[in-house]
A and B are shown apart, each in its own frame.
Chain A
């Protein structure tokens, strides 16, 4: 018996008793040497087009997917005719130019439009077949069914969009929480100037700086500017606690040192386990109506010293002493007095300003530092609260990526004698 049954679908010759072994007649099928069959019934679509896109050859698999007869497509239609409207634009604006420039393109996700109008997601790879002289002759395209992959990709895209939405929601919440911890509108004592500025280091986290300026019942005003350790939701909780504790304390006893001692006790009781604390400058100001300035009684808990910018152009740091608030069980604070006359400006700030690492800093540790801030303040004095805050804002802009912490600035000034 000779092997003649090349297309025997069972791979087994007639009358062959050894059914467990492939017969001689079955070998040709196993050798996969029928190239026509291999092309026509490949597990992917095959398409050859002329350089203008006209379909020259198409395999049975792709015809089955599309639902067309061969004669409806060959010589009649172009590859882009098989795509959806958007896919056609994509083909013309991305696919074809890359193919023309680079000779091949792979793994492009497109959708075929079948004869009955339905869509079939596919992945498309094309190469330009060149003749012996290197001149382009044909475009060969392999097309893979991508229904499953597309479903998976859609899930990935949906997940990405969901993540982006969450991110947006988070930013929104952070912004809202941040604003709730700062005065919506800064009030100004009658006859004085005030201005404030807050810059969060990140839009993802609630910053830990806080400030306020608010009237008391007897014509005096309270003000504070502080900085809570850490960032994020835990820091925001401490910020809220500090802010409202200070405001409440002034209602019973408008004494800055007492208010800080009170805050120290509250933070120590509440947060000593978590080592949460803050630095803060707290003051009560009394307008000196006759002169047009104010006197402020100030206490500080470990906070950078306030700056005074005088009407005569001089500046100095107002010395303060006091331990970080909430770090020790029984901290005591001292009141000092600042007299602000017409043309003087009192500037409170958080260490985000002095601890920033601007490019070209002259300090050994690369920080901006108190000396540089003093020089900067001297270049401003005499000034007004608004001008000082504007200038500091511009200064922060120049720090760029060197600004790593939140920064708050609060200025209270007495206008120079009116003309």
Chain B
């Protein structure tokens, strides 16, 4: 009960189907999977959750030291799997949750039956010949963005969708939490996300892995997807005809289809 509450764990989709854990990235929460979950949930049992510090995770569970490193988040993923007694689930991680999934899979090699890394980047900062796409200054700049949006953030988001007749499918509950994060927690998560270097962890991945990247992504460019593909032996790389860092929003059908066909193969 404690773990479920801590991470606002939601179990949905087809009961008795193969289990798929969906992990959101930096910035928003489990609602990012809304469209994709509707598709995959037809054949899979879905486990959705919010990382501590995001969405509707328990604010009391926040610990600035624990969540200063991606290991803290990976621990949480493993404890969710233990708590729910998940049998060899497929782990789908978006953005930084790709690295979190890799860390978790390496720590407990028998835990997951497969990994799906959606727009992964093991290292965001350029380093000699490696092109992550960003400099240290860019990351400081991001921390500044988080801070400068702090003043208007808390009160300005909520009214946006209330009574939005064009989008009736979006409930109030979504508005209340989606992409709304305590700025102090967001700063810690941003540092953990964008200053981590998990390139060396990729080679240790031993489970079947699918890498999904977008043709145009301002955060994880195609070279980074190719790097991840080259580092994880036997991995598959699929480039979606999609723009942006969040194909589950910009191309949900294609994203769901790619995940589904990979998982079908994994369960054959």
Footprint of B on A, CB under 8 Å? 51-53, 78, 80, 84-94, 96-98, 100-111, 121, 130, 134, 150, 153, 156-157
Contact = CB atoms under 8 A, between A and B. Distances in A.
Given A94-B28, A150-B148, A106 B166 contact: no
B179 to A, nearest CB: 5
B38 interface: no
B168 to A, nearest CB: 11
Contact of A92 (B34, B156, B164, B244): B244
Contacts of A97: 27-28, 32, 178-179, 246, 249
Contact of B145 (A52, A78, A101, A110): A110
Interface string B217-238: 1110000000000000000000
Contacts of B175: 102
Interface of B: 25-28, 31-32, 34, 95, 134-135, 137-152, 156-157, 160-161, 164, 166-167, 170, 174-175, 178-179, 194, 216-219, 243-246, 249-250
A208 to B, nearest CB: 30
Given A97-B179, A102-B164, A84 B138 contact: yes
Given A93-B219, A102-B175, A130-B166, A109 B149 contact: yes
A85 B141 contact: yes
Contacts of B167: 102-103
Contacts of B249: 96-97, 100-101
A87 B145 contact: yes
B149 A100 contact: no
A353 B157 CA distance: 46
A53 B219 contact: no
B179 A94 contact: yes
Given A86-B142, A88-B219, A93 B28 contact: yes
Given A85-B135, A107-B152, A96 B28 contact: no
Nearest to B152: A107
B141 A84 contact: yes
Nearest to B146: A90
A88 B218 contact: yes
Nearest to B27: A93
B170 A102 contact: yes
Nearest to A80: B218
A94 B193 CA distance: 14
Contact of B160 (A90, A106, A130, A153): A106
Contacts of A89: 134, 138-139, 142, 145, 194, 219
Contact of A96 (B95, B156, B174, B246): B246
Nearest to B157: A98
B151 A53 contact: no
Contacts of B31: 101
A121 B145 CA distance: 10
Contact of A103 (B95, B134, B166, B250): B166
A93 B143 CA distance: 13
Contact of A101 (B34, B146, B148): B34
A104 B161 CA distance: 8
Given A87-B145, A90-B146, A93-B28, 6 more contacts: A86-B140, A92-B218, A94-B179, A100-B250, A110-B145, A157-B147
Contact of A90 (B25, B149, B152): B149
Contacts of B245: 92-93, 96
A106 B148 CA distance: 14
A97 B36 CA distance: 14
Contacts of B170: 101-102
A130 B28 CA distance: 24
